[in-house]
Structure 1
Amino acid sequence: MRNWENKKNTVVVGVSAIDVDDHSDHGGHDDHSDHGGHDDHAKHSAKVDDHSDHGGHDDHSDHGGHDDHAEGAFEWAGKFQLSKGSYKWSFEKVDGEYADPAMKMVILKSNDIEGSEDLAKELLGSKDSISRKNNGTLIASNKAFILNFDQRKESTVFNVDIKEDGQYIFFTEHMPFEFEATQHFFKDVLNSDVEPIAQVPDEGEGHHHHHDHGGLDPHVWHDPHNIIKMGNIISKNLKKDISVFNRGDRKLISERFKQADSLLEGLDSWIIEQVSSIPEENRVIVSKHKAMEYYGDAFGFETISLLDFLGDSSSLRPENISSTLKMLDEEKVQAIFPEQIPASKLLRNLSRQSSVPLASNQIFVDGLMMDGNTVSVAVHNTCTIVDSLGGSCDKESGSNLESEWYKLSD
């Protein structure tokens, strides 16, 4: 993302994503005031320009796993153009077991996935559902089906009866690819594969449009020196609206910004110290999306986006999963970092098949924690990463930095 600091929209998005809390309990929000030119940050400034050629990720926000089948949750939705007739939907054991002993499915006659999500979630969350076993028949219905998998068989097959030509959307509690071992999950009467014309993989709450960053990693704020640069731009614009004769307010802005600058420099040093406790060969951050590259560049990590290996929704096939498992083994990855708890079924499945553990805590890549501030996110993410990769994080000193940041709004 070259010259992002000269693009106002980029700066506004970055700041709002990391500092949207107004700290009402502390008398205001984090206020970065002007601290001058920062010539001593040249080393870090160059990092901001290093991401123009990084591939983007697909818009697959991670909304948590569905092992507990949370009310109304779905993990996958696929839209199919189907002719009247009979079809087969199969579920196979993978590595000797089904991904779950049962799963809910909703079938709606519709051409709009997003417009059908509310109804699908309502039906999936309802107790008024229809139970089906092996060879049972499924139809478009205003009730969800509970699909019970035959543990005695290597595969469980359901008949899908389409009453009329049209577009149909299938909402499922698990990704159908998790049940593929030897064949495609959906076939017609000629045993030919039937592919969706549109799908939303791993999207439990239907926000699949929120994570499209147009081929770039915009998460610049994960490097504290980039927050300093964003604050510098904000403070200069604030001063444009203040008379040069109003020395009191201009001085207040400058002093506040210098305090913020000092704290962010301290945060940067603190992160470097924590990361130094991780064995060098373990410094690999694996997450679902391309979101930690600025953090990795700043603090010496290799960063890997799983979607770079899994591909887009239309290519999320067993062979892609196999190449991902091979990568995790070759890189000797120590942990996979979920971006939401509980982790998605996809990440759980990759963790199980690769024997690479999931980090016990999520990393916050797109905004603030429920209770916290800008520094809280950096401290939490750093301790999660350090502790998961064989290091030792000093959370107490990190908490002190968080407290100092809150004081800026006093």
Structure 2
Amino acid sequence: MSGSPTGPARLLLRGGTVVDTDPHVTARPDTDVLIEHGVIAAVGPDLPAEGAEVLDARERIVLPGFVDTHRHVWQSVLRAVAVDSDLGDYLGLVLGRLSPAMRPEDVYAGNLVGALECLDGGITTVQDFSHVQHRAEHGDAAVRALRAAGIRAVFGYGYPPFDPAARDPRHVRDLRERLFAGDGPDELVTLALAPGGPSYTPIELVEEDWRLAADLDIPLAVHVGSGPVACRPIEALRERGLLDARTLYVHGNSLPDDELAMIADSGGALSIAPAIEAQMGHGAPMINRARALGLVTGLGVDVVTSTPGDMFSLLRAALLTSRLADGTRLFAADVLRIATIGGAAALGLADRIGSLAVGKQADLVLLRTDTVNMVGAAHDPAGAVVASAHPGNVDTVLVAGRTVKQAGRLTHPAGIEAVTAARAAAEHVATAI
């Protein structure tokens, strides 16, 4: 299959089990998917193959690419440094000591290997909450790495929490002008602002950040909870007229239902990181509360400093913690939707990705079912994805119709070099531990 930047003009996935997620989860065996110029052109049985490159999708599940709505991708070089840490330990070690040691080349290495890890496991879109911009060069490096990887990403420019001198809105404006001037619907990497937010930042600076995002016409992503500055951060935003539909709120475990309802009423979305929220002790699981209030919700890995970086682990964490929370019966199909079309909606991309609808970008994953862990997948393909699959089952990954993983191997030409660079970056940063 072609590994060109644009992919083949016509690609036909022949005879797979097609699992779609919108408007609800369905599974269609022996079904074809036709892709033309990176866009889904048709889904159905026995589609004509004239002029198309044909990929045999038998014994494969074909589903939309996963959407990770919250990940600090730069921390990919810090894997497993905080396995035994709670939130306070993590903040002191990773953000207080290790983040200042990150050079621009370390950020590039972290973002490249982190984005490749996403693609290797079938995550085709990631919201990169990049709060490591100690200098303008860090932001440049992060964006270049995402583009080099070939992933679809919303790059959230953030300020380091413990480095107030790094806060400089001019860097964001300059980055926008230099690296995002041609932003359009076909761009894979787009810009967002990822500020400290009302839980952790004085409200005057919060208002400045929201004005900056409005001036640049970019969305916002922000951590929220009962923090040291505001115990009711969403109410603080509402009082100043700052709630809007282009803001993604992250975690929110300590928020009361009335503040979650404010987010829902504004059209905003919530990113939940069930694995890290359990591991670090953020608070009670969020999925059931968010669903009950009608909140648009996505899933996020958050960090790989203490939890896995793949969506399959996250799907299971979401399912298990939701049932543990209050006994509510959440189904596998529910979490699969949250990880695909739900995440796309949370990032404002549901018109382009998240399902297999004709006209959407061809961000697709093919999972092998001819393996020991996927025996019986034909009985419940969606259930098998959630309960049984792992990154080793990911056979093929497409982003906008371009092959980024084929026959179980990433197609990126610098895959080995990326791992080597990431190891070198990890060794450098480890000197700050």
Q: Same fold (TM over 0.5)?
A: no
**TM-score, with normalisation over the residues of structure 1?**
0.27
**TM-score, with normalisation over the residues of structure 2?**
0.26
Radius of gyration: which is bigger? Answer: 1
Greater percentage in strand: 2
